[in-house]
Amino acid sequence: MRQFRVLRQAQEVLIRSGKGNPTGLTGILQHPNPRPVLIKLYNSTLTKLKEKFPEESVYRKSVETLTKSRLAIVEANDVVEQIEQKIGCGLVEELIIQANEEYELLHKMAEWRVWDELEEKPLPDHMFKISDIFKPKVEVQADELEELRPVNGKYDHLLPIVWIDCEMTGLDLLNDHIIEICALVTDKHLRLIDEVGFEAVIHYPEERMNQMDEWCRTHHGDSGLTKKVIESSNTLQDVENQLLAYLSKYVSKGVGILAGNSVHVDRQFLCKEMPKITDYLTYRIIDVSSVMEISRRHNPRVNEYSPEKVGAHTARSDILESINQLKYYRDVYFKGPGEVDFGSRKRRHA
């Protein structure tokens, strides 16, 4: 059984434990009190950076910025799930392991004096910048980029993607409801076909909004959505018909593919409350969160450079962040048409 590593200081901040509930990750058990552990680790890291690294060190600046950002999130949130969501690096137990490894790495980096200039410098043609490694590829070749214009009034030839994000009163499929919905349509190159998009707020009375859980009451209240919902005159059926009319202007039935982050959840609510929309789109989805999880396991470095999310939790801002996130994965993670080596594999489609 895998056990938590121990940070060997006068006061240990990690535990060795053979007991506890499983987290769902092989060999990693739930930490009984993770928040103080993370605070201790992040503060220890910041202290060590100040003690061992010069202020102008690029390594110190980058680690310090990331650590301060994560420390602020942990200190501002008492709920473990909120910490996991806002930092976005998996379970809190994984964060503890990562923070401990980062702290231990500081000792080696200080010993190696990474801020010193190299005595033996590389030849000019051997030098590179770290930004070159992650430099985005050209979006698409000019001869592959079809003109963004309709054919027979639709954009079906550009394999349109229908980005939808719903804000709900909660995640209980039986008892919660869609209160805001936004839709944007892009082509296969992630270019917006219509920059205005579709947005609508659905009316629910104040009594129903007061029944939301604490997270929804706080975030929908802070964003102003709760007030908009109460003041809206739109019914669920009104919005469903309006959205269907909007989509039909750009995409034929059965052509558009639903996309977003964890968009299977949105689709479940759409199937329940706006079945005309899911019937109009293909049954397939593009889930950007799945791409993120694959990269986190296959090449974790990719996620370290992924676009930062604002987390405004409004439908439109969430969609734009999802599109931007998929553009990032396409540019730095996916291989372009000329970069794939198929080896001896047989071509399946002409």
- Report if residue 326 sits inside a domain: yes
pLDDT at 282: 94
pLDDT at 1: 29
pLDDT at 14: 36
Report yes or no: 249 and 255 within 8 Å, Cβ to Cβ: no
- Report if residue 132 sits inside a domain: no
To the nearest 10°, report the CA torsion of 106, 107, 113, 114.
Answer: -30
Whether 183 and 299 share a structural domain: yes
Taking 50 as the pLDDT cut, the residues of the chain under it are: 1-19, 118-123, 125-135, 138-139, 142-143
Q: Is the dihedral of CA 221, 225, 229, 230 positive or negative?
A: positive
Whether 76 and 160 share a structural domain: no
pLDDT at 147: 75
Bridge partners, residue 166, by sequence? 181
- Residue 316 CA to residue 183 CA, distance in Å, equals 8
DSSP code of residue 234 = -
Instruction: Report which residue type is found at 135.
Output: K
Q: What predicted TM-score, i.e. pTM, was given to this entire model?
A: 0.60
Whether 154 and 109 share a structural domain: no
Whether 247 and 310 share a structural domain: yes
Whether 37 and 154 share a structural domain: no
Q: What domain count does the chain have?
A: 2
- Residue 89 CA to residue 74 CA, distance in Å, equals 13
- Residue 283 annotated as catalytic: yes
Note the residue count of the chain.
350
- Residue 156 CA to residue 348 CA, distance in Å, equals 24
Report yes or no: 52 and 105 within 8 Å, Cβ to Cβ: no
Instruction: Please give the residue range of the domain that contains residue 288.
Output: 149-335
- Residue 296 CA to residue 289 CA, distance in Å, equals 10
Residue of 280, 283, 305, 329 marked active site = 283
